[in-house]
Structure 1
Amino acid sequence: MSSNPAAFRRRNPLTGEWVLVSPHRNNRPWSGATEEPSKVELPAYESNCPLCPGNARANDTSNPNYESTFVFKNDFAALTEHEIEPVDASDLFQEQSAVGEARVICFSPEHNKTLPQLTEQELLSVVNTWQREYSELSEIYNCVQIFENKGEVMGCSQPHPHGQIWAHQHLATEVEKEELSQKAYFDDHSSALLSDYVAAETKDASRTVCENDHWLVVVPFWAKWPFETLLVSKDGIADFIALNQAQKLALASILKELTTRYDNVFNTSFPYSMGWHNAPSTLEDKSHWVLHAHFYPPLLRSATIKKHMVGYEMLGESQRDLTPELAAKILREVSSTHYLEN
């Protein structure tokens, strides 16, 4: 809680965007976990789930009886292998083909286990799958987007734990912003923006949620979502290909800790959209890039009170009441043991 009556803005150096922070609007930004713990019980296997082992999917296909992670081409992919005939280019009407492919990653054969409920060894299998899939797709495509939408509120149509990969030649808009910003920073400072940011946040510590030898999780200085976090490599690696075994083990560990802390804030399966940003694969020099993931959760004050980006956020710029420092403190102080295990 802040007694300072002044609003202020913070700039995201990765994208150049600003966020309006209004801590004075909320005299009670943190109300605690006032609701009963959410204990929705799903079965380990669901006969109607198209992601469970052995079950039928679209297009007359079926899943194998997989026992770990399982990857398949998205049956309803947003990207295709076909090119279009673009309209005649002009300043007002520009169009291009979006050639690529999309895949689905089932994190576990068990229908009722989200990331924080997996063991670190099971999470290591997820990390290994991310690395393998990225390595393969980055040989073909310039931009490989690994992401997860968790929870119905984030548009996830299947509760079975899974993520996606969309790969294409064009640079996605957010990746292009980060490429330009990180390159400009490196040209000015002869160091990577996110490496310098890790050093500064480690020294400050007010926005740190958790860390280990190879990874840091912070609520970023410029966060726009209430409990947004940035998971970033402390070793300055540029993409998944560069991950060694120690870094992968540490990543599995910190993924379990972060997602557990999320669930423990409101004793619920915490929804979010998360995604990895790797250096574009065709870059000859990746010195300015650092591998990182963004977590964007919508929950604000309880399991049912959400932040909506509407009105001013859509027409002006992002706005928040809960300061990043307070959000980090809340995440830092909740238990790292999942509430369903207590």
Structure 2
Amino acid sequence: MEFQADEHQHVRYNPLKGEWVLVSPHRMKRPWSGQVEAVPSDEIPEFDPNNPLCPGAKRQNGEINPKYESTFAFDNDFPALLEDVPSPPESSDPLFQVGAARGKCRVMCFHPKSNVTIPVMSVQEIEEVINRWIEEAESLGKKFDWVQIFENKGAIMGCSNPHPHCQIWASSFIPNEPRIKDIYQKSYYETHGRPLLMDYVDKELQKKERIVIQNDEWVVVVPFWAVWPYETMVLPKKHVLRFLDLSAIQKTALADIMKKITIKYDNLFHVSFPYSMGWHGAPTGSKLKEDMKHWVFHGIYFPPLLRSATVKKFMVGYEMLAQSQRDLSAEKAAAILRNLPDVHYSRR
């Protein structure tokens, strides 16, 4: 029997994190009788005076939002990280290590209207979001070693407010995910003399097996080592270290690529597609003066939906106790996304 990646189980290596993922494509044939989610409602009001993220609305701390007409960022009213806190005492016990954790948490609204999401925004509006991300990253990056920009979209991903927004957490420490990526990217660079992700981009452009969309500056692929069913990675075609390094052309092209990939997502199951997404680039703060040429700025989308708008992938059991497992090949997922229309289903 000849091996076929779309049919036969196998494992794939993630060189960014030193991890393996089990690919079991045949599992898509099994019947599903587990949890079924409610179909998200598309009927979200344009403005809700009781929504604390809307222009002119009152937040939980009593502050009144300005009547903003583009993006709006403010300090999180319920932050996970604070700047002025005492440090824990040092521990000499190797089993009970603690460390200081300081930071700042921000919330950023993408648009004044609650019923507008990235795929239905204009490229110019998305570019305004990108510019604000860069402003926030630059400001926080002067003080903190890591600035994590991320968006949780949809109730399935734990988002409790439908207004289009993201969060920005800046920390005095480098979190686990980027810390591990830093180690493996640096090791690859020391061995091969090239950034890992730039070599990866070149090879994906040659193979054309997992590309979803691309333009002159960016390419979106379902990573060879993807874990989530329709996970994608946004990669630059030219080496960039951080958000701050993007040229005007790259920013406009990034806005274009973000609109296109999120349209593909929404068109998959004709629903406002839930996901967690975020950006990774070279560390900041005290790391700004260090040599970080092994880093490549990139974005990641982690959508949970697997079979339909109501059936998601659960990361439990084997995934929690052994290693990640996915139910369709990266190539199959890329082909499905690639062949979807480029016009949003609500606009056709």
TM-score (norm 1): 0.95
SS at the partner of 1:194? helix
Moved more, 78-87 or 159-168: 78-87
1:208-267 deviations in whole A, cap 9, x for unaligned? 000111111000000010000000111110001111100000000000000010000000
Alignment match of 1:336 (pick from 329, 335, 342): 342
Q: Count residues with an aligned counterpart.
A: 334
Alignment match of 2:200 (pick from 197, 201, 209): 197
Q: In structure 1, what is the Cα distance between the partners aligned to 2:159 and 2:200?
A: 32
Is 1:232–1:292's contact at 8 Å kept on the other side of the alignment? yes
- 1:250 and 2:250 equivalent? no
Residue 4 of structure 1: CA displacement? 7.0
Task: Find the counterpart in structure 2 of residue 220 from structure 1.
Answer: 223
Q: In structure 1, what is the Cα distance between the partners aligned to 2:46 and 2:8?
A: 50
Task: Find the counterpart in structure 2 of residue 166 from structure 1.
Answer: 169
Task: Find the counterpart in structure 1 of residue 72 from structure 2.
Answer: 70
- Superposed, 1:130-145 pairs within 5 Å as 130-145=133-148
Is 1:208–1:328's contact at 8 Å kept on the other side of the alignment? yes
- 1:84 and 2:106 equivalent? no
Q: In structure 1, what is the Cα distance between the partners aligned to 2:158 and 2:10?
A: 32
Q: In structure 1, what is the Cα distance between the partners aligned to 2:179 and 2:225?
A: 19
- 1:111 and 2:153 equivalent? no
- Superposed, 1:120-159 pairs within 5 Å as 120-159=123-162
Task: Find the counterpart in structure 2 of residue 32 from structure 1.
Answer: none
Cα distance change on mapping 1:307 and 1:206 into 2, 3 Å? same
Task: Find the counterpart in structure 1 of residue 36 from structure 2.
Answer: none
Is 1:87–1:93's contact at 8 Å kept on the other side of the alignment? no
Task: Find the counterpart in structure 1 of residue 99 from structure 2.
Answer: 96
Residue 26 of structure 1: CA displacement? 2.7
1:142-182 deviations in whole A, cap 9, x for unaligned? 10101100000101010000001000111100000000000
Q: In structure 2, what is the Cα distance between the partners aligned to 1:246 and 1:4?
A: 37
Residue 39 of structure 1: CA displacement? 6.2
Q: In structure 2, what is the Cα distance between the partners aligned to 1:166 and 1:261?
A: 28
Residue 58 of structure 1: CA displacement? 1.6
- 1:18 and 2:20 equivalent? yes
Task: Find the counterpart in structure 2 of residue 314 from structure 1.
Answer: 320
- 1:188 and 2:188 equivalent? no
Is 1:89–1:95's contact at 8 Å kept on the other side of the alignment? no
Letter aligned with residue 217 of structure 1: V
Q: In structure 2, what is the Cα distance between the partners aligned to 1:28 and 1:341?
A: 34
1:318-337 deviations in whole A, cap 9, x for unaligned? 10121100000010000111
Q: In structure 2, what is the Cα distance between the partners aligned to 1:58 and 1:76?
A: 9
Residue 87 of structure 1: CA displacement? 5.2
Task: Find the counterpart in structure 1 of residue 211 from structure 2.
Answer: 208
- 1:44 and 2:43 equivalent? no
SS at the partner of 2:257? helix
TM-score (norm 2): 0.93
SS at the partner of 1:301? strand
Aligned-pair identity in percent equals 51
Is 1:38–1:267's contact at 8 Å kept on the other side of the alignment? no
Is 2:81–2:103's contact at 8 Å kept on the other side of the alignment? yes
Is 2:88–2:98's contact at 8 Å kept on the other side of the alignment? no
Moved more, 37-46 or 212-221: 37-46
Letter aligned with residue 329 of structure 2: T
Task: Find the counterpart in structure 2 of residue 33 from structure 1.
Answer: none
Cα distance change on mapping 1:13 and 1:326 into 2, 3 Å? same
Cα distance change on mapping 1:329 and 1:85 into 2, 3 Å? same
Is 1:175–1:277's contact at 8 Å kept on the other side of the alignment? yes
Task: Find the counterpart in structure 1 of residue 34 from structure 2.
Answer: none
Cα distance change on mapping 1:49 and 1:331 into 2, 3 Å? same
Q: In structure 1, what is the Cα distance between the partners aligned to 2:334 and 2:275?
A: 16
Task: Find the counterpart in structure 1 of residue 276 from structure 2.
Answer: 273
Residue 3 of structure 1: CA displacement? 8.5
Q: In structure 1, what is the Cα distance between the partners aligned to 2:337 and 2:123?
A: 20
Letter aligned with residue 79 of structure 2: A
Across the aligned residues of Structure 1 and Structure 2, the Cα RMSD in angstroms comes to 1.5
Q: In structure 2, what is the Cα distance between the partners aligned to 1:205 and 1:3?
A: 15
Residue 86 of structure 1: CA displacement? 3.0
Q: In structure 1, what is the Cα distance between the partners aligned to 2:309 and 2:153?
A: 14
Residue 27 of structure 1: CA displacement? 3.5
1:14-65 deviations in whole A, cap 9, x for unaligned? 1111100011233389xxxxxxx97622111011100000000021111000
SS at the partner of 2:308? coil
5+ residue gaps, structure 1, are 30-36
1:51-110 deviations in whole A, cap 9, x for unaligned? 000000021111000000000000000001113323523210011121000100100000
SS at the partner of 1:274? strand
